[in-house]
Structures are given as structure tokens and as C-alpha cells.
Structure 1
Amino acid sequence: MFEFVTDEEERGQVGIGTLIVFIAMVLVAAIAAGVLINTAGFLQSKSQETGQQSTKQVSNRLQEVVTTGTVDQSNSTITAVNVTVTQAPGAGEIDLENATITWIGPDGTFIINHENASTQVDDEFTTSVVKNAEGSPTVLNDPDDRFSINFDLSAGSEDPSLLTEGDEVTIKINTMAGATTTIRFTVPESLGQTQGVEL
């Protein structure tokens, strides 16, 4: 016996097929939208993190106030260098204990860490408080804070050596945030009879 399909049944089958295709498209679109939203959120958080790190690298710098040298009058050499620093404008909290200093002098290049650092490289520097509002021994966290970074020089070849008249030195101070402060000075041609000299 032949079975006849009416127009209404054909329309019903076509409608069900269309509905299934529509639901599948909605599901695919929902999954794609979820992936895009997650990716956009991830990229936004990474860009904010990168922007903050870049800002710190630019702004969390030190600013030199004055650099002085201690003079040994017996042989006209500088036996110690003291660099007084403060926060650069717009800088955040800077812990000098975590700073790494590169000393480039007439006798070579030396990597210098704070005396309290967990790892020591070529030599160490010390810090002393000139002015500190909150009493932290190594942390600059106020624009009025002043700390002195102290380098003791020696006659040996393992450490930065004594400086003589006319010597040129470059000091690069790298903070934990990755910002670099470069300080250059030249020893005066005549140290005279003074115990200290501004460099």
C-alpha cells in the first residue's frame, strides 16, 4: 500500500530540520563568544600587567643628589665614594637592599650588591641614612628620603681600586623594578689638601 505524505507533514519535517540547524548555530556562536570573551579578558590583564611593569621600569628610578669622595692626603687618592640619592619624581617605593650596581672604572667593570643581599658578586656596597621619614634602613618611600650609597675602594685588583686624579667612573644603579640610573663623575685634576671632594 502506498503511504501519502501531506504538505503539512512535509512542512513539519522541514521546520524540525531548520530548528536543529538553528540550535546548532546558536551553540557554536555561544562557544565562540565565550572563547573570545575569555581571550579578551586574558589579553587585557596581560596588557595591564605589562603596562605596570613598563611604567615601573621608567619611573622607579633614583636621582643623584650629590657624590663625594674621601681623600687620602698621603698619596692623593680617593679611598671611598659616597653617592647620596633620593626618589626620582613619580617613583614608587625603592629598596636599595635589592639594587644591583655596575661600577665601570679605570681598572675594569664590577658588579656590586648590597652587603645584606642574599648573593654576593664582585663586591658589596653599604647604605646609610641621611634623612628618612619612616625609619626604614634601606627603603626609599618618601620624596624627602635621602640615603647615601657607600663604596669602599682598595688597592687590590679584586675590588674597585683607589681613584687617582683625572680618573673617570660610571655607576649604573639597577633597581628591582628594572629601572636604571646612570651617574658619571671625574676625579678633579688636583685633590689638594682636602679630606673630601665633590665629584
Structure 2
Amino acid sequence: MFEFITDEEERGQVGIGTLIVFIAMVLVAAIAAGVLINTAGFLQSSAQETGEQSSSQVSDRLQEVVTTGTVGNEGTIEKVNVTVSQAPGSGEVDLSNATINWIGPSGTHTLTHENADESGWQFSTSIVKNTDGNNVVLNDPDDRFNIEFDLTATNGPGALGEGQTVTVKINTMSGATTTIRFTAPQSLDGKDAVEL
């Protein structure tokens, strides 16, 4: 007929209910911890990749060593050679993937390397000093390359006259930019080459 529940049985049922709630809380906490650990790992790898890209944009630059111009028969500068090296702390710089903005008296020109399959005015490179024989990749602090601009080439800006100023911006594949500014001397008479 009637069952009588003793105090001990009631405490047992309450204890089992508490245990079930506790196990459920532990499971939820474990799942949440797993999600947090995975998210933290993903964020860490994303932050590391972003940091490396940002570092490349700042450090993978070139450094100007010297800029010279070749004077033609007309008494104007027809060719410009910019000798470059790696900037301090720079990684490998592949000049065949670089783009150069030439900003001069005749306007702005965007150049690609002569090895690129592009049309228009292009720049070329030659080795001054290189440790591994590659004529487009600076990968050692001692490497020195000439970046050569033939101003009278097809689609070129034309020769530079006395006192004219040019800004050259070299953009590497990593996004780093090196800015070089030079001015032709006020007198080019009787000279074959000048330092700019």
C-alpha cells in the first residue's frame, strides 16, 4: 500500500542528482576549455603569420650604395645605374619580382624587371658582387647589384637634363619600399658619367 521513504533513501537520491549535475558541469567545462584552447592556437598562428608579414614589409628593403648617370652626346643623362644592397636585417630580395616607380619631369612610370612577361619600359639588373652567382636575388649582406634604367628606350621617359630631379621607389615582393631621390648636376658639359 503505502511506502515509507526513510531519510537515508532521500539523501541517496539527492546525492545521485548532485553527482549527475556535477558530471554535466565538468563535461561542459571540458568542452569549453577545448574550444578555448583551439581558438587560442588558431589566434597564435594567425598573429605569428601577421607578425612575420609585417616584419618583412619593414625589413626586406634595399639600400642605395651609389647612383650614377651616363652622359650622352646631347649633354643629357641617357642611362642611370643604381647600385643596391640588402638593408640591415633584410631577408632575401628577388629583384625580378620587384616593381619600380620612376617619378620624374616627364611624369610617373611603373617598371617591371626585364625577365617579367610585361610590356613597356623595363629595368635590368647586373651583378657587381654576388656570393652565389644569381643575378636577380640579393641573399647576402655583401651582395651588390646594379639596377639599370635606359632612359632613351622605347616607352622610356627620355633623357634627363641638367638640374632635373627624379624619385625612384623600389617595391619588393614583400611590400617593402625603398625611396631614392637624386638630381642631375647643374652642368653636364664635357662629362661622360656623373654621380647623382
1:10-159 map, 5 Å: 10-73=10-73, 75-118=74-117, 120=118, 122-154=120-152, 158-159=155-156
Q: Assess if the C-alpha contact under 8 Å between 1:110 and 1:122 holds in 2.
A: no
Q: Distance in 2 between matches of 1:186 and 1:53?
A: 34
Instruction: Give the RMSD, CA atoms, in angstroms.
Output: 1.3
Residues 1:30 and 1:121: Cα distance change in structure 2 (over 3 Å): farther
User: When the two structures are aligned, how many residues end up with a matched partner?
Assistant: 196
Q: Percent identity?
A: 71
Structure 2: gaps (5+ residues): none
Q: Give the TM-score taking structure 1 as reference length.
A: 0.94
Q: Distance in 2 between matches of 1:169 and 1:161?
A: 12
- Output one character per residue of 1:41-69: Cα deviation in whole Å (capped at 9) or x when no partner: 11111111111111111111100011011
Give the Å deviation of 1:123.
Answer: 2.0
Residues 1:155 and 1:26: Cα distance change in structure 2 (over 3 Å): closer
Q: Give the TM-score taking structure 2 as reference length.
A: 0.96
Q: Which AA in structure 2 matches 1:39?
A: T
Structure 1: gaps (5+ residues): none
Q: Assess if the C-alpha contact under 8 Å between 1:80 and 1:152 holds in 2.
A: yes
Q: Distance in 2 between matches of 1:112 and 1:160?
A: 11
Q: Which AA in structure 2 matches 1:5?
A: I
Give the Å deviation of 1:159.
Answer: 2.4
